């Protein structure tokens, strides 16, 4: 329990630091990279809280799709970062004020929930069946997999078929099948036109 608390506090502090770098970084690529790092850290926290499905969902959806898409979009575009530092300093006092008043109640609630009780070991000397350990042996990923592939297998296959049709439709719409005429350069006409213009 003590090791889990140490890991939880370590990843929580790391998440707060990476989120602060996302907010206060002046370069958009660096802020997006630390946003990906904050998503990964939050997925580790969800793993510690035994929410494996949500942790994998964070990694697959946010890190694998949205953040990478934003990264390529930012790298392809040009950003003007001249007046960013001037506009950023206006919101620093308000951000510090609201951050302090929101951080202390959150820290108090987390410390109350994850406080180590040294007298809890006395319960394990009693010989009884701990049903919570038996329930906790099955992860939520196994439960979701059993439900999806047994009771909702047709709906799951239909969802995959819809995604495949959407992917084929996007590829078909991006390709311009009607206007695929290859235009050749008429070099003689271009040279004669420029010669006439220069002559005039």
Residue 89 gets which letter from DSSP? T
The domain containing residue 184 runs over which residues?
2-115+136-199
For residue 72, give the CATH number of its domain: 1.20.120.1200
Confidence of residue 181 (pLDDT cuts 50, 70, 90): low
114 vs 110: CA distance, rounded Å: 6
pTM over 0.75: no
Inter-residue contact 29 to 41 (CB < 8 Å):
no
Confidence of residue 123 (pLDDT cuts 50, 70, 90): very low
Inter-residue contact 114 to 5 (CB < 8 Å):
yes
Q: How many residues does the chain have?
A: 200
Residue with more model confidence, 60 or 80: 60
Q: How many domains does the chain have?
A: 1
Share of residues in the chain with pLDDT > 90 (%): 0
| Residue 127 maps to a domain | no
| Residue 70 maps to a domain | yes
| Residue 121 maps to a domain | no
From 28, 9, 31, select the one nearest 19 (Cα to Cα).
Answer: 31
pLDDT for 49 equals 83
Largest CA distance in the chain: 108
| Residue 93 maps to a domain | yes
| Residue 188 maps to a domain | yes
């Amino acid at each position: 329990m003590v090791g889990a608390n140490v890991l939880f506090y370590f990843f929580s502090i790391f998440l707060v630091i990476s989120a602060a770098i996302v907010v206060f970084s002046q370069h958009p690529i660096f802020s997006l990279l630390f946003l990906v790092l904050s998503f990964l850290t939050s997925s580790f926290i969800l793993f510690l809280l035994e929410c494996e499905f949500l942790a994998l969902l964070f990694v697959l959806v946010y890190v694998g799709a949205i953040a990478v898409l934003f990264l390529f979009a930012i790298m392809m575009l040009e950003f003007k970062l001249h007046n960013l530092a001037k506009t950023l300093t206006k919101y620093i006092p308000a951000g510090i004020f609201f951050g302090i008043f929101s951080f202390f109640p959150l820290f108090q609630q987390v410390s109350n929930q994850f406080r180590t009780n040294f007298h809890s070991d006395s319960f394990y000397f009693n010989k009884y069946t701990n049903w919570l350990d038996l329930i906790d042996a099955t992860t939520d990923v196994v439960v979701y997999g059993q439900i999806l592939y047994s009771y909702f297998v047709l709906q799951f296959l239909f969802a995959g078929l819809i995604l495949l049709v959407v992917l084929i439709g996007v590829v078909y719409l991006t390709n311009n099948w009607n206007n695929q005429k290859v235009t050749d350069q008429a070099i003689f006409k271009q040279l004669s036109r420029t010669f006439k213009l220069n002559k005039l």
